[in-house]
Structure 1
């Protein structure tokens, strides 16, 4: 089935038209996020780590999310993570009904956190979440790997390099639609302490594809 959205992040005009670049400076992170840290190239989107000049944090990284929203389907990104500890290389979805689907929070050298969270809309609700840790034999920074999720009304099936690694039964709880997020962030909780000089070490996203479900598959 043909993708309903696909990109190799090679064209600057497509990055500007299809994605919104995030600007933030969160106390929980050791990097702010700035639009200029995400650039297209002939190998994909480069999420650069730079010495910060205009934020509280010492370094800056990058984060982008789609302007368009998508419904049930298969979402897969091909990613080469940064080759340092302390970097959260993340690919996830956020829904209009306040769910966060973590396809991969990948950390050097070989760990990915996968999960689902519900974020309350007011004080009458409570945060809820479930997560899985997947550890691999390969050093995930040595090359590109595929991270994906099949999202149907009934379940979430997560995969890495085409192999299923986790699944959740959702029973129509998540109705979407979703925005797609890609980001790099420095934090001591991301696989180990941030090194003294993380600048120059970044994530690369080679491609992204979204395949929608047929009506008969929903």
Structure 2
């Protein structure tokens, strides 16, 4: 109930300030598990997606957003909790596995789970190669994947900016991708790579971004 109330109020304020263009909402199933796989341009992406989607969205956020001291720390914790964020510590392989397990539990419960296959924000606006965690979620859960194209969010809060700016944005939801069958004949690693590449190609068609062709190896800030 708290999530729904906070999302409605925040969504109305966001639409007044930023007048976002939202396309393809009908592509998100009204019920059942679904994975939202998006490009990642800005810290505010994790605010934009939950506010654009009519269903409750769960996503991973750095544990530091929940543990900060003082008034700022309490505000950050309240905001991310209201948006449906799940705190996770990042840095080791074990933590990456734990993060994916959180996603699988959300999908098993019939929820919406959002993930950035690039792993972290693009430093230059290009679309970086996807990591195969998104494929692991899709192939293990059987949930459809809805590709999400975010356009212009980097102008709201560029990397290094402390405060958000007013700028128009576009959020595009592509047609659901079904990976529940057709990959059993492939070895696990090959199947995950193929699925991930198909998802990234769908995101690129939505955004028109130049493909970097490499992984984004910079420090993971968000």
TM-score with structure 1 setting the length: 0.30
TM-score with structure 2 setting the length: 0.29
Higher strand share: 1
Higher helix share: 2
